[in-house]
Amino acid sequence: MEVIHKIGRRKTAVARVYLSKGEGNITINKKDLNDYFTTGTLQYKVKQPLMLTENEGDFDIRVNVFGGGITGQAEAVRLAISRAMCELDAENRGILKPEGLLTRDPRMVERKKFGQKKARKKFQFSKR
């Protein structure tokens, strides 16, 4: 099996995942998963597609992720791993799709408009 390369995005975070046969090592930006994502919630998000498809110890995953915050990065990695699992075996799609792991979250930060303080907040209005 050659290396499977997939991309996942969330907000402004972009994750490139390289999946190959191995013993379950997950490396993110040349750091271990537990060193890069320190909270249990973020580690769970990254491992979720592997747990659902029962492939936790089967593959070595190398990730290059940049942009956004840590939550956006974790969800970008999750989407990329989910896409790689689907390419590996078409049956995995039926497991991951109902969980919402193959959906690219389209929500982005709304842009700031001129003549306003923020995207929706206005400057204080004075009648007199």
Cα angle 6, 55, 73 (rounded to 5 degrees) comes to 40
pLDDT tens digit at each of 128 positions of the chain: 689 999 999 999 999 999 999 888 999 999 999 999 999 999 999 999 999 998 888 899 999 999 999 999 999 999 999 999 999 888 999 999 999 999 999 999 999 999 999 999 999 999 98
Examine residue 28 and state whether it is found in any structural domain, yes or no.
yes
Residue 115 placed within a domain: no
How far apart (Å, rounded) are the C-alpha atoms in residues 120 and 97? 34
The enclosing domain of 52 has a CATH number of 3.30.230.10
Token digits of residue 59: 């593959």
Model pTM above 0.85:
yes
Domain of 61 in residue numbering reads as 4-97
In a domain, 79, yes or no: yes
Q: Give the largest CA-CA distance in the chain.
A: 74
Domain count across the chain = 1
